[in-house]
Amino acid sequence: MNGGGGAPVDFDVIVIGAGPAGLMTAHSLARVGRSVVVIERGEAVGSKNLSGGIMYCHAIREVFPDFLDSAPVERLIARNVLVFGTGSGHVAIDYADQRLSAAGTAVTVLRARLDPWLAARCEEAGAMVMPGLRVDSLLIEGGRVAGVVAGQDELRSHVVVAADGVNSFIARGAGFRPPPKMSQLGVGIKGVVKLSEAQINDRFQLAEGQGAAFSITGEVTGGIGGGGFLYTNRDSVSVGLILRLDDLTAQGGDSSVLFEGLLANRFVAPYIDGGRLIEYGSHLVNEGGQAMMGDIVWDGLVAVGDAAGLTINTGLTVRGMDLAVGSGIAAAKGIDAALAAGDATAQGLAGYPAALRESFVGQDMSTFAKMPAFLENPRLYRDYGQLTADVLRGVYNLDLTPRRPLLSLARQAVRESPVRIRQLLADSLKAVRAL
Ligand X SMILES: Cc1cc2nc3c(=O)[nH]c(=O)nc-3n(C[C@H](O)[C@H](O)[C@H](O)COP(=O)(O)OP(=O)(O)OC[C@H]3O[C@@H](n4cnc5c(N)ncnc54)[C@H](O)[C@@H]3O)c2cc1C
Which of 12, 74, 164, 299 contacts ligand X by CB under 6 A? 164
Which of 77, 119, 122, 135 contacts ligand X by CB under 6 A? 135
Sign of CA dihedral 266, 107, 27, 1: negative
Strand, helix or coil for residue 74: strand
Stretch that binds ligand X, among 14-22, 81-89, 194-202, 251-259 (CB under 6 A): 14-22
The answer to whether residue 319 forms part of the interface with ligand X (CB under 6 A) is: yes
Alpha-carbon separation of residue 109 from 234, 261, 267, 276 (angstroms): 9, 25, 23, 19
CB of 310 to ligand X, least distance (A): 7
Which of 311, 314, 377, 386 contacts ligand X by CB under 6 A? 311
The answer to whether residue 320 forms part of the interface with ligand X (CB under 6 A) is: yes
Which of 14, 26, 54, 296 contacts ligand X by CB under 6 A? 54
Judged by beta carbon, residue 219 or residue 306, the one nearer ligand X is 306
Among residue numbers 276 through 305, which ones bind ligand X (CB under 6 A)?
283, 285, 305
The answer to whether residue 39 forms part of the interface with ligand X (CB under 6 A) is: yes
Alpha-carbon separation of residue 365 from 182, 356, 406 (angstroms): 20, 10, 37
User: Alpha-carbon distance 87 to 85, whole Å?
Assistant: 7
Closest alpha carbon to 197 in 69, 96, 74: 74
Q: What is the CA radius of gyration of the chain?
A: 23
CB of 111 to ligand X, least distance (A): 7
* Phi then psi dihedrals of residue 228, to 5 deg: -115, 170
Q: CB neighbours of 408 closer than 8 A, spacing ≥ 6?
A: none
Contact between 343 and 3 (Cβ < 8 Å): yes
Stretch that binds ligand X, among 37-45, 76-84, 266-274, 416-424 (CB under 6 A): 37-45
Residue with the shortest CB distance to ligand X: 320
Stretch that binds ligand X, among 16-24, 174-182, 251-259, 270-278 (CB under 6 A): 16-24
User: Alpha-carbon distance 433 to 435, whole Å?
Assistant: 6
The kind and range of the H/E element at 215 are: strand 210-218
The answer to whether residue 138 forms part of the interface with ligand X (CB under 6 A) is: no
Which of 78, 321, 335, 344 contacts ligand X by CB under 6 A? 321
The answer to whether residue 74 forms part of the interface with ligand X (CB under 6 A) is: no
Among residue numbers 236 through 275, which ones bind ligand X (CB under 6 A)?
240, 242
Q: Give the total of residues touching ligand X (CB under 6 A).
A: 41
CB of 372 to ligand X, least distance (A): 15
Binding characters for ligand X, 205-224, by CB under 6 A (x = yes)? --------------------
User: Alpha-carbon distance 222 to 230, whole Å?
Assistant: 17
Q: CB neighbours of 102 closer than 8 A, spacing ≥ 6?
A: none
Q: CB neighbours of 398 closer than 8 A, spacing ≥ 6?
A: none
The answer to whether residue 26 forms part of the interface with ligand X (CB under 6 A) is: no
CB of 133 to ligand X, least distance (A): 7
CB of 204 to ligand X, least distance (A): 16
* Phi then psi dihedrals of residue 157, to 5 deg: -155, 165
Among residue numbers 403 through 422, which ones bind ligand X (CB under 6 A)?
none
The answer to whether residue 31 forms part of the interface with ligand X (CB under 6 A) is: no
User: Alpha-carbon distance 171 to 161, whole Å?
Assistant: 10
Closest alpha carbon to 177 in 287, 309, 288: 309
The answer to whether residue 91 forms part of the interface with ligand X (CB under 6 A) is: no
The answer to whether residue 118 forms part of the interface with ligand X (CB under 6 A) is: no
Instruction: Considering only the C-alpha atoms of the chain, give the largest distance between any 2 of them, rounded to a whole number of Å.
Output: 88
* Exposure of 118 in the CB half-sphere (CA atoms within 13 A): 31
Provide the binding-site residues for ligand X, judged by CB under 6 A: 16-22, 39-42, 48-55, 134-135, 163-165, 170, 188, 190, 240, 242, 283, 285, 305-307, 311, 318-322, 324
